Amino acid sequence: MDFAYTQQEEQFRLELRTWLEENLPEGWLDGTFNMPEEQAAYGQFLRDWQRKLSEGNWAAIAWPKKHGGRDATLMEEIIYHQEMVRVQAPPAINYVGLHMVGPTLMQIGSPEQQEKYIAKILSGEEVWCQGYSEPNAGSDLAAVQTTAVKDGDKWIINGQKIWTSFAHFADRCFLVARTSKGEKKHHGITCFLLDMNQPGVEVRPIIQMDGEHDFNEVYLNDAVAYEADVIGNVDDGWRVTIALLMHERTGIGAQVFSLEQQFDALVELARSVTTDDEALIEQREVRKRLLDLYIKSRGSLLNYYRNLTKQLKVGHPGVEGSMDKLFVSEVTKELFSEAISLQGHQAITWKQDAIYGDSYWQKNYLYSFGQTIGGGTSEIQKNTIAERILGLPKDIGK
């Protein structure tokens, strides 16, 4: 495998790097920028950042030019992820819209739906969330219990969604509901493009153990969707959800490169923490554990590159994305667990008392558990790898 970048690709990197230096918020690169703490102000900050990305033609570089993208190559996407991770750019508030809903609309949506939604997704004018998970369905999307019942030209939707990222900011929801009972449980499912700003939709925050608010419960009480809000065909939502999930897996690149950066920070932590006036990195057992994590993180990166090579050849992402998702999320959890162990009793401190001052290790350690759940649990990824890559028999419970 050739790891070198072409002159054209390096020129692309330089163009992006220059734009970031000129357009990131003042104080961002030198660490003096203060992120808004109040939810509404934070949400507006992220919308403004996406609008700036869109104006610079950097919001969705892989999208076709006719939809406001750059027709970027896969390698240019890799460079984009690398540069965004390098500067730790503000998160994408419309991640669901940009990486999942938008590409799915281009693939399956009607011309009217594309005209209505895609430009607003790109600019951040409309933020999207994903209405998949339910309290009693777990990771089994086919066990969806939210119902949509036809009433004239309307669909009346009732049910509950949970762990819905960005629902407190969202204007629209890519919602999965049951519209009929089929022979198999993944039959009779339909996908809706639901308006979140209506009386029948109630969003309740889920406060995490680190005190942050990223997830929500969404209650649907006679919420209304129309025929024009159905994407694909009625009762054919399983095909649509699979298409969307394939697009979701392509966003793993940023996590792979973040893992590299996090490992480097872990090494610096081992250098800075001392016991009996000796840096922990001088201890044989610590170096052994760091080496083990380096091997795993490097293996995750190389496996990601291998899957990218296949994608370059066939032209579309495949189920190998489950391997990347599994490896990266599990290694990330191990890495932050090691960071907490290295800190000893200081690991229980928070905010200004914590090493690095902003509870970096503590917050990410707690968040790392969620990474093995969101976007498909590790257990589901293992089943996918076993059945669809290794060709093993299906789970006996299916």
Q: What is the pLDDT of residue 345?
A: 86
Domains of the chain in sequence order: 7-123 (1.10.540.10), 128-235 (2.40.110.10), 246-389 (1.20.140.10)
87 band by pLDDT with thresholds 50, 70 and 90: very high
Q: What is the mean pLDDT of the chain?
A: 89
398 band by pLDDT with thresholds 50, 70 and 90: low
Looking only at the bridges linking them, the beta strands covering 172-178 and 128-131 are parallel
Q: What is the pLDDT of residue 200?
A: 96
Active site residue 248: yes
Query: For the whole model, what pTM was predicted?
Result: 0.84
- Pick the catalytic residue from 83, 126, 134, 248: 248
| 340-349 long-range contacts, CB within 8 A, separation 24+ | 340/365, 342/266, 342/269, 342/270, 342/273, 342/280, 342/286, 343/269, 343/273, 344/273, 344/275, 346/273
Q: Look at 1-15, 183-197, 312-326 and tell me which has the smallest mean pLDDT.
A: 312-326
Contact 205, 213 (CB under 8 A): yes
User: pLDDT tens digits for 116-146?
Assistant: 999 999 999 999 999 988 998 766 777 899 9
User: pLDDT tens digits for 39-56?
Assistant: 889 999 999 999 999 999
Does the pLDDT at position 245 exceed 60? yes
Does the pLDDT at position 264 exceed 90? yes
